[in-house]
């Protein structure tokens, strides 16, 4: 018996008596015995001899015919760092209700143990592993590569797990129609918003469905996703369907206050004429036709009223005024060259920096980079 805590330790004779009684006790009694011995063992204050006998009893209870007894045992032992590896493995390979607390918490299981269980294709056990704290990279990769959808969603939702870009791409490829998996990727703080947007964009789940159904997607991700969708649409790969849904998507984003000045500024700098018109219309609470009339055909006062109604910041209002003549050229029947537009707008920004942002040119550049995340939009 340990000298440190004699009141808490179990006399060797008592342990032997428990071992003898376990064979004749009913289920409730065996559960109480299992919990008592497991909790005494977990306190780590037994002598070597007492510890050896306690482990023998725990192994006996791990083979008990009652799932209720084995489940109680697993819950008592899940958090102890001194759980013998072979006992942890035995419980981990048991039925799901017994295995779950061990799979979620026990430090006695190695990465090899966890990966072997992942490969057994038991979805509930995979999900339990996915919820562990501080998963290693190899276990995370194994889950994303082999596990069923709920477990992949769970590991993506696990804030303590580090998700590499390649693993996020793999998850999106495996479950490209799952808005739950794609939304979990979108919410990862360790993935750059533009990378997450790129991954989700190339999955086959409907972009509109993702944006409309997942109400708590981060704003930086939404901005990057919307811009990536539009860039793909303008270059052709996504076809006209995205354009047809544009106003609906923007209205939904506006309901969630995600048509930010940052997004509108980035759209302006990129020269996405159709999306800019739609974003201004939605922010101003107008129809697209009415907004386009005020933008291009009813003079400076109508334009000023429109952008004030949209409640844009002062800097953005100045930039929109500089962009308007360049955008109007397409209204006059001329071809709209985005690359030429970007060059000319950049020239105007440089030559009008004092009007847009007081101070040296560096102030304007800093504000544009800060509000528009221009470098992310270019990647």
Listing DSSP states for 12-66 in one string gives HHHHHHHHHHTTT--HHHHHHHHHHHHHHHHTT---HHHHHHHHHHHHHHHT-S-
Q: Compute the distance between CA of residue 323 and CA of residue 295 in angstroms, rounded to an integer.
A: 11
pLDDT tens for 354-375 read 666 655 555 555 555 554 444 3
DSSP state of 268: H
Burial state string for 11-31 with b = 16 or more CB within 10 A and e = fewer than 16: ebeebeebbeebeeeeeeebb
Quote the pLDDT of residue 239.
41
Q: What pLDDT, in 10s, does the model give residues 81-96?
A: 999 999 999 999 999 9
Q: What integer pLDDT is reported at residue 247 of this predicted model? A: 66
pTM tops 0.85, yes or no: no
Q: Is the pLDDT of residue 338 over 50?
A: yes
Task: Give helix 261-270 / helix 338-351 axis angle, nearest 10°.
Answer: 120
Contact 114, 141 (CB under 8 A): no
Residue 22: band (very low, low, confident or very high) from pLDDT cuts 50, 70, 90: low
pLDDT digits (tens, 9 = 90+) for 164-203: 999 999 998 899 888 888 888 888 888 887 777 777 766 6
User: Are the C-beta atoms of residues 200 and 211 closer than 8 Å to each other?
Assistant: no
Q: Residue 11 pLDDT more than 60?
A: no
Q: What is the mean pLDDT of residues 249-272?
A: 79
pLDDT at 379: 40
pLDDT score of 333 more than 70? no
Integer-rounded Cα Rg, in Å, for the chain is 31
pLDDT digits (tens, 9 = 90+) for 103-125: 999 999 999 999 999 999 999 99
Find, among 74, 70, 39, the residue nearest to 54 by Cα. Answer: 39
In this structure, the number of other CB atoms found within 10 A of the CB of residue 219 comes to: 16
Greatest alpha-carbon pair distance for the chain in Å reads 99
Tokens coding 75: 């819950």
Q: Where are the domains of the chain?
A: 1-109
Residue 132, phi-psi category: left (phi > 0), alpha (psi -120 to 50), beta (remainder): beta
> Torsion angle, CA of 196/197/201/206, rounded to 10 degrees?
100
């Amino acid at each position: 018996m340990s000298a440190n805590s004699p009141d808490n330790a179990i006399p060797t004779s008592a342990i032997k008596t428990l071992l003898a009684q376990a064979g004749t006790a009913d289920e409730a009694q065996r559960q109480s015995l299992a919990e008592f011995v497991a909790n005494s063992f977990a306190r780590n204050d037994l002598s070597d001899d007492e510890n050896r006998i306690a482990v023998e009893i725990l192994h006996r209870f791990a083979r008990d015919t009652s799932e209720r007894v084995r489940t109680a045992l697993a819950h008592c032992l899940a958090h102890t760092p001194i759980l013998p590896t072979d006992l942890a493995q035995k419980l981990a390979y048991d039925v799901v209700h017994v295995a779950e607390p061990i799979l979620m918490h026990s430090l006695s299981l190695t990465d090899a143990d966890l990966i072997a269980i992942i490969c057994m294709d038991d979805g509930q056990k995979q999900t339990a592993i996915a919820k562990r704290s501080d998963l290693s990279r190899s276990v995370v990769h194994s889950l994303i590569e082999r596990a069923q959808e709920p477990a992949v969603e769970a590991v993506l939702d696990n804030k303590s797990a580090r998700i590499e870009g390649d693993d996020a791409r793999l998850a999106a490829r495996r479950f490209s129609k799952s808005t739950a998996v794609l939304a979990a990727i979108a919410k990862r703080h360790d993935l750059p918003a533009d990378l997450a947007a790129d991954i989700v964009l190339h999955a086959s789940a409907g972009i509109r469905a993702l944006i409309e159904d997942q109400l708590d997607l981060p704003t930086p991700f939404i901005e990057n996703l919307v811009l990536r969708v539009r860039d793909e649409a303008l270059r052709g790969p996504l076809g006209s369907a995205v354009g047809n849904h544009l106003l609906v998507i923007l209205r939904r984003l506006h309901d969630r206050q995600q048509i930010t000045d940052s997004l509108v500024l980035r759209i302006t700098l990129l020269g996405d004429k159709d999306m800019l018109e739609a974003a201004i219309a939605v922010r101003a609470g107008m129809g697209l036709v009415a907004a386009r009339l005020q933008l291009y055909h009813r003079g400076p006062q109508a334009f000023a009223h429109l952008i004030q109604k949209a409640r844009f910041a002062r800097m953005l209002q100045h930039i929109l005024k500089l962009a308007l003549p360049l955008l109007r050229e397409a209204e006059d029947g001329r071809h709209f060259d985005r690359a030429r537009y970007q060059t000319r707008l950049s020239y105007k920004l440089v030559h009008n920096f004092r009007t847009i942002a007081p101070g040296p040119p560096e102030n304007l550049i800093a504000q544009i980079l800060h509000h528009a995340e221009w470098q992310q939009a270019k990647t």
